[in-house]
């Protein structure tokens, strides 16, 4: 396997942390998003969507979309389970993972790509240029603040985001909250459950991946 | 089981079509989104996120997020398989399902919720009000047009969106394209592969669900 990666790309980190939790050491090749290498002919031949990460399997098959890559790794390397141990637990962890994606990750991406000068005319990932919308940058920040409140409430009821075990939902929440530095978003002093949880998940060796 | 549903809500239809393909006849209860019943105390007690669909299991457990609900139904009712028959096929179908969500469904939702007067101050689903952004309505339309081109290309290479078998990715693409009527988006005469595919999937009995 070979993982096309970019150190600062949060979706790529999602796969790196997931693989590290599985004890996998997947060879990686950096795609320099800082120089827009994801839109060069070499990389578009790998992933025509122009996005990282992409996982190339030994037979040459290319998988993209971080959530699909993680589910593939879960099936091929089932231990330790990170997506639930039975149908109901898998559904609940997937439900929370999706909530984190929709209400957290998407909000930060909205804020970052519409507010940072580097992304001028690049407000959406992929091969087509779209102008930034400053109002969307602001909306992203507000939505991320709401997401932190949702997480604070959830983590007051549950040890981890997806239930009573560490799961992919925690990984997605961790990379989302770290990604939020790009919009100056951070856990507040009034959010003790989030602080407790962040200390635990950020203290795992996989968080350095 | 009980499915909280709204006939015109595309994510609810995604679950209805999926269940119909499985031959399931799940009792449904309508949540009148036209009167914002999803934000009333009764429904928020079921799903605090204020979104449909929600599936209540016989033990009272509530599952939300249409993709998590579909994956749960896939595991509990494996025949016919709609999410792939082995790890690689599952990953590829999930990858395409995600591409449809991100590049198609999200684009239409952006266009519809920011462009239709009904959603004034309700540009994002859920319990918080956000103002509409007219530029986002326009961007959604452009992104949907790009999505149709992506699908046209894909369906020139593959009988179905997710591969050589009908899958959840076809369901998500079907409900996305029908949802696009709300932004006057439609398959063009210059897109014969999409037309062929749409005729096939829209002709299945499940499409009426």
> Is B27 a residue whose pLDDT tops 90?
yes
Residue B93 and residue B188 in one domain? yes
Residue A59: Cβ-neighbour burial (10 angstroms; 0-12, 13-18, 19+)? exposed
- Nearest-Cα residue of chain B relative to residue A66: B95
Contact list, B105 vs chain A (CB under 8 Å)? none
Predicted pLDDT of residue A50: 94
Do both A62 and A101 map to the same domain?
no
Whether residue A53 is contained in a domain is answered as yes
Position A82 in a domain: no
Find which of A62, A68, A130 to mutate to test the B interface (most B CBs within 10 Å of its CB).
A68
Q: How far is B49 from chain A (nearest CA, A)?
A: 9
Farthest CA pair distance, chain B: 50
pLDDT digits (tens, 9 = 90+) for B49-101: 999 999 999 999 999 999 999 999 999 999 999 999 999 999 999 999 999 99
Do B127 and B50 sit in the same domain of this protein? no
CATH number assigned to the domain comprising residue B179:
1.20.1050.10
Residues 6+ apart with CB under 8 A from B184: B141
Q: Are A112 and A198 in a shared domain?
A: yes
A107 pLDDT band (50/70/90 cuts)? very high
The answer to whether A150 and A99 have CB atoms below 8 angstroms apart is yes
**Which of the four pLDDT bands, split at 50, 70 and 90, describes residue B107?**
very high
Same domain, B144 and B60: no
Over residues A63-77, mean pLDDT: 98
User: Residues B109-146: pLDDT tens digits?
Assistant: 999 999 998 889 888 888 889 999 999 999 999 999 99
Q: Are residues A110 and A38 part of one domain?
A: no
Give residues with Cβ within 8 angstroms of B77, minimum separation 6.
B22, B24
Provide the H-helix boundaries in A53-133.
66-76, 87-99, 106-115
Q: Is the CB of A94 less than 8 angstroms away from the CB of B124? A: no
Judge whether A44 is closer than 8 Å to chain B, CB to CB.
Answer: no
Using CB atoms, which residue from B64, B94, B131 is nearest to A71? B94
Write the ipTM. Answer: 0.96
Structure confidence at residue A125 as a pLDDT band (50, 70, 90): confident
Beta-bridged to residue A64, according to DSSP, are A54
Other residues' Cβ atoms within 10 Å of the Cβ of residue A19: 22
Is the same domain home to A63 and A128?
no
Whether A63 and A110 map to the same domain: the answer is: no
Residue where one domain finishes, among candidates B50, B76, B102: B76
For residues B202-207, give the mean pLDDT: 98
Query: What value does the mean pLDDT of chain B take?
Result: 96
Same domain, B51 and B113: no
Range of the domain at A104: 87-208
CA dihedral defined by B185, B98, A168, B38, rounded to 10 degrees?
30
pLDDT at A127: 87
Last-in-domain residue among B47, B76, B105: B76
CATH number of residue A65's parent domain: 3.40.30.10
| C-beta atoms of B63 and A91 within 8 A | yes
**Residues near A200 by Cβ (< 8 Å), separated by ≥ 6?**
none
Q: Please choose, from the candidates B78, B58, B54, B56, the residue with its C-alpha nearest in 3D space to the C-alpha of residue B66.
A: B54
Show the tokens assigned to A60: 């040459």
Tokens representing A16? 């790196």
Verify whether the Cβ–Cβ distance A128 to B143 is below 8 Å: yes
Last residue of a domain, one of A33, A53, A76: A76
Contacts with B126 (C-beta within 8 Å, 6 or more apart), sequence order? A103, B49, B50, B51
Phi, psi (degrees; rounded to nearest 5) at A5:
-140, 160
- A78-104 residue pLDDT tens: 999 999 999 999 999 999 999 999 999
CA distances from B44 to A178, B52, B78, B101 (A): 30, 11, 31, 25
Task: Find tokens 């909530």 and name the residue.
Answer: A99
A98·B69 Cβ contact <8 A: no
**How far is A207 from A131, CA to CA, in rounded Å?**
33
* Per-window interface: B 83-102 vs A, CB < 8 A: 87-88, 90-92, 94-95, 98-99, 102
Q: What percent of chain B has pLDDT over 70?
A: 100
Q: What is the mean pLDDT of residues B1-18?
A: 97
Residue-wise pLDDT for A15-43, tens only, equals 999 999 999 999 999 999 999 999 999 99
A11 touches chain B (CB under 8 A): no
Whether residues B70 and B128 share a domain: the answer is no
B81 domain-assigned? no
Are A134 and A115 within 8 A, CB to CB? Answer: yes
Partners of residue B98 in chain A, C-beta under 8 Å: 65, 67-68
Radius of gyration for the alpha carbons in chain A, expressed in angstroms and rounded: 17
A125, part of any domain: yes
8 Å CB contact between B62 and B46: yes
Name the residue in chain A with its Cα closest to that of B55.
A91
Which residues of A are less than 8 Å from B61 in CB distance? Answer: 88, 92
**Rounded-to-integer distance, Cα A51 and Cα A11, Å:** 10
On whether both A122 and A163 belong to a single domain, the answer is yes
Residue A81 lies in a domain: no
For the ranges A59-73, A118-132, B134-148, the lowest mean pLDDT is seen at A118-132
Judge whether B82 lies within some domain.
no
Residue A21 shares a structural domain with residue A105: no
A16 touching B (Cβ < 8 Å): no
Q: What pLDDT score was predicted for residue A141?
A: 96
Number of domains into which chain A is organized: 2
Distance CA B115, CA B82 (A): 34
Examine residue A108 and state whether it is found in any structural domain, yes or no. Answer: yes
Q: Are residues B72 and A91, on separate chains, in Cβ contact within 8 Å?
A: yes
CA A59, CA A93: separation in Å to the nearest integer?
Answer: 30
Q: Is B103 on the interface with A (CB under 8 A)?
A: yes
């Amino acid at each position: 396997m070979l993982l096309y990666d970019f150190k600062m790309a949060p979706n790529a980190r999602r796969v790196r942390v997931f693989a590290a939790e599985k004890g996998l050491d997947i060879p990686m090749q950096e795609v320099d998003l800082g120089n827009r290498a994801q839109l060069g002919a070499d990389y578009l031949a790998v992933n025509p969507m122009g996005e990282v990460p992409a996982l190339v399997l030994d037979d040459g098959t290319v998988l993209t979309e971080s959530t699909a890559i993680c589910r593939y790794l879960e099936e091929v390397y089932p231990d330790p389970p990170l997506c639930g141990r039975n149908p109901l637990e898998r559904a609940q962890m997937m439900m929370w993972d999706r909530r984190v994606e929709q209400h957290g990750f998407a909000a930060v991406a909205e804020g970052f790509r519409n507010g940072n000068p580097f992304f001028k005319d690049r407000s959406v990932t992929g091969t087509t240029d779209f102008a930034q919308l400053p109002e969307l940058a602001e909306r992203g920040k507000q939505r991320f603040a709401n997401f932190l409140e949702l997480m604070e409430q959830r983590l007051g009821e549950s040890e981890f985001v997806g239930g009573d075990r560490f799961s992919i939902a925690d990984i997605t929440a961790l990379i989302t909250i770290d990604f939020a530095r790009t919009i100056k978003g951070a856990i507040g002093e009034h959010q003790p459950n989030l602080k407790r949880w962040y200390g635990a998940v950020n203290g795992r060796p996989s968080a350095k991946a």
